[in-house]
């Protein structure tokens, strides 16, 4: 079932729920510039067998309000939007799963709204903390010295804002997914092209969108709050992750108090069908849904 939620003055968010209405809620939080439809139906349906699964379009994506040009906002405001989505569905507490920017927003929820979370699952993201990473041999690496995105990712991102016709935009998006996938799992270009065509139809435009890249990223650190949280947290390690490559997942698991680390074989920064079953199983085990 689809609905629109008034998240803030002048901000309306598209959202959808699947699964039993009386089941515990599980909120999916997507990455930057990404519609909620970026969560593949196969994964959503697997989770919806046990949970009331909610996915939504961030502001400036999909069918949600295009707001940034007239009313610039902070990245932190996107975390407030996630809370507004829960409110809009009448959900007091939910399991929350965040990917990429969505993983950062989920950390903000862990820190600022712990009473709204039953659990958290973080993937493809970095720790909002200044705590150094401690290597297995005991040596330390400062947060700012952990590796950044792969050169191939940066090269693709450098062309993101260019205006293209529909087919050229689809070509760019498929290449983007190919690079994000990391190369360990065979890449299905036709599958990702169909996903992006559906997202474009859902959105109503294929124009590029860089609002989240322009949004104010200040004030995101939550070092102390993450170190003392009681929210049960799972960190997904993706061995082919090219945006936040190893050891970001390990660092995140060290940063969030009590966090567990699980590896999904072959996974990168994308969600091909090959990872749906192991990822869903990991999330369901963590949340008590299996």
pLDDT, tens only, 193-243: 999 999 999 999 999 889 999 999 999 999 999 999 999 999 999 999 999
Q: Please name which of 165, 201, 162, 160 lies closest in space to residue 177, comparing C-alpha atoms.
A: 160
Q: Which tens digit of pLDDT belongs to each residue from 78-92? A: 999 999 999 999 999
> Residue 290 — very low, low, confident or very high, per pLDDT cuts 50/70/90?
low
pLDDT at residue number 208: 87
Q: CA 78, CA 108: separation in Å to the nearest integer? A: 10
User: Whole-number mean pLDDT of the chain?
Assistant: 96
Task: State whether CATH 3.40.50.1820 applies to domain 2-287.
Answer: yes
Q: How many CB atoms lie within 10 A of CB 125?
A: 26
SS3 240: coil
Distance CA 284, CA 290 (A): 5
SS3 category, 252:
helix
In this model, does residue 120 exceed pLDDT 60? yes
In the predicted model, is pLDDT for residue 100 greater than 70? yes
pLDDT (0 to 100) of residue 289: 59
| Eight-class DSSP state of 266 | T
How many Cβ atoms from other residues are within 10 Å of residue 258's Cβ? 11
Question: Tens digits of per-residue pLDDT, 171-200?
Answer: 999 999 999 999 999 999 999 999 999 999
Taking the domains of the chain in order of start, what are their residue ranges?
2-287
Give residue 161's pLDDT.
Answer: 87
Average pLDDT value for residue range 141-160: 96
The whole-number pLDDT of residue 69 equals 86
C-beta separation of 246 from 237 below 8 A: yes
- The pLDDT confidence band at residue 141, using thresholds 50, 70 and 90, is very high
Each residue's pLDDT tens digit, 36-80: 999 999 999 999 999 999 999 999 999 999 989 888 999 999 999
The answer to whether residue 264 scores a pLDDT higher than 80 is yes
Q: Give the DSSP H or E segment for 234.
A: strand 233-237
Contacts of 1 (CB under 8 A, 6+ apart): 16, 17, 18
């Amino acid at each position: 079932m689809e609905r629109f939620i008034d998240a803030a003055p002048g901000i309306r968010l598209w959202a959808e729920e699947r699964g039993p209405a009386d089941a515990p809620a599980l909120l999916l939080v997507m990455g930057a510039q990404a519609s909620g439809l970026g969560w593949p139906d196969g994964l959503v349906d697997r989770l919806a067998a046990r949970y009331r699964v909610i996915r939504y379009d961030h502001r400036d994506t999909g069918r949600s309000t295009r707001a940034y040009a007239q009313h610039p906002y902070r990245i932190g405001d996107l975390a407030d939007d996630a809370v507004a989505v829960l409110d809009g569905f009448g959900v007091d507490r939910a399991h929350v799963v965040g990917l990429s920017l969505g993983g950062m927003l989920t950390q903000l929820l862990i820190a600022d709204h712990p009473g709204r979370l039953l659990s958290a699952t973080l993937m493809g993201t970095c720790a909002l903390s200044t705590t150094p990473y401690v290597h297995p041999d005991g040596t330390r690496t400062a947060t700012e010295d952990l590796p950044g995105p792969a050169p191939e990712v940066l090269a693709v991102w450098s062309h993101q804002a260019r205006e293209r016709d529909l087919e050229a935009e689809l070509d760019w998006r498929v290449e983007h997914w190919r690079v994000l996938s990391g190369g360990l799992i065979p890449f299905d270009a036709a599958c990702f092209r169909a996903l992006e065509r559906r997202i474009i139809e859902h959105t109503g435009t294929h124009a590029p969108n860089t609002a989240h890249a322009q949004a104010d990223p200040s004030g995101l650190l939550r070092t102390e709050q993450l170190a003392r949280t009681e929210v049960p947290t799972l960190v997904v390690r993706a061995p082919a992750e090219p945006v936040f490559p190893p050891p970001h997942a390990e660092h995140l698991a060290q940063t969030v108090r009590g966090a567990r680390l699980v590896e999904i074989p072959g996974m990168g920064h994308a969600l091909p069908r090959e990872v749906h079953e192991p990822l869903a199983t990991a999330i369901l085990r963590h949340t008590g849904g299996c």
